Structure 1
Amino acid sequence: MKSGPILLVEDDIDDQEFIIDALQTLGVDNPVEIFDNGQKALDYLLTSDQQPFLILSDVNLPIMNGLQLKSEIQQNPYLKDKAIPFIFLSTSADAKAVYEAFELSVQGFFVKENTYDGIQRQLKQIMEYWKSSRHPNSTP
């Protein structure tokens, strides 16, 4: 559902604020649910009846990192059937992490821009793409 929440899985408070501000500036009206580690995001996904619009996740997180979170989603039939677009937005982009992300069927891997204009441009591309894209749970 394109009106569902955006799940932001990010442990850096400055990056959280940066991303939320950029989404607001872009006029994105989806609510944003913030989680500072993958385990909290997974707990939310397992207990919420919401259909998230998408997940924006860092790779390097405490307790459960982004790759582990994506793996847990892939292995859980209930969560896998939700077909939630999962996009990595991370400062880390080593080849091993990118390869593992795509092995887990991630829908995108972006290196976080370090300027406000840059992050806003990235988020605009991501949002426009997923707002236009067909989704198994929203296609008539």
Structure 2
Amino acid sequence: MSKSGPIVIIEDDEDDKEIFESIVRELGIQNEIKWFVETESAFDFLKTTDEKVFLIFSDINLPGKNGIQFKYDIDADPELRKKSIPFVFLSTYASQKDVEEAYIKVTVQGFFIKGTDYGEIKKMLQHIFEYWKNSKHPNSF
């Protein structure tokens, strides 16, 4: 993890994408944002990039493989697992089953509901970014 590396977002909703990007810029975060609408192209990017990714944000409900399967694929790949990229779900909806699978089956570092209030979303994202900017991590040295 590089604190100045790209932020990877897997999100298929254009409105959510625009809101996220607007908030990130309002927060003064200068990291490049890499957008993907499905998990396969995001996985290919993670496998081939030499960049140290700062954070992965993924929706849970996506076309093709869902977010849980995407995280499972990352964990199952020794090279990607070693990179220890922080992975956070950011979804419109979460069932108890989704949250349990996220933490138990694939050990994500966070699961958040997007909500509909711009100010609340901004506050939530600010907390997430501050946490990871200050956190020590296997690949942050």
Query: Are 1:111 and 2:113 an aligned pair?
Result: yes
Deviations along 1:62-117, whole A, 9 cap, x unmatched?
01211111000000000000000000000121000000000211000001121211
Q: Give secondary structure in 2 for the equivalent of 1:127.
A: helix
Alpha carbon RMSD of aligned pairs, Å?
A: 0.7
Query: Are 1:56 and 2:57 an aligned pair?
Result: yes
TM-score, normalising length from structure 2?
0.96
Q: 1:84 aligns to what?
A: 85
Task: Give identity over the alignment, percent.
Answer: 48
Q: 1:98 aligns to what?
A: 99
Q: Give secondary structure in 2 for the equivalent of 1:135.
A: coil
Aligned length, in residue pairs: 139
Between the aligned partners of 2:86 and 2:77, the Cα distance in structure 1 is: 15
CA offset at residue 59 of structure 1?
0.1
Between the aligned partners of 2:26 and 2:18, the Cα distance in structure 1 is: 12
Between the aligned partners of 1:5 and 1:14, the Cα distance in structure 2 is: 21
Q: Give secondary structure in 1 for the equivalent of 2:17.
A: helix
4+ residue runs of structure 1 moved beyond 2 angstroms?
A: none
Between the aligned partners of 2:18 and 2:66, the Cα distance in structure 1 is: 20
Q: 2:131 aligns to what?
A: 129
Between the aligned partners of 2:28 and 2:58, the Cα distance in structure 1 is: 20
Q: Give secondary structure in 2 for the equivalent of 1:3.
A: coil
Between the aligned partners of 2:111 and 2:117, the Cα distance in structure 1 is: 18
Q: Give secondary structure in 2 for the equivalent of 1:101.
A: helix
Between the aligned partners of 2:66 and 2:42, the Cα distance in structure 1 is: 11
Name stretches of at least 5 consecutive residues in structure 2 with no aligned partner: none
Q: 1:65 aligns to what?
A: 66
TM-score, normalising length from structure 1?
0.97
Q: Give secondary structure in 2 for the equivalent of 1:23.
A: helix
Query: Are 1:19 and 2:29 an aligned pair?
Result: no
Deviations along 1:14-41, whole A, 9 cap, x unmatched?
0000000000000001100000011111
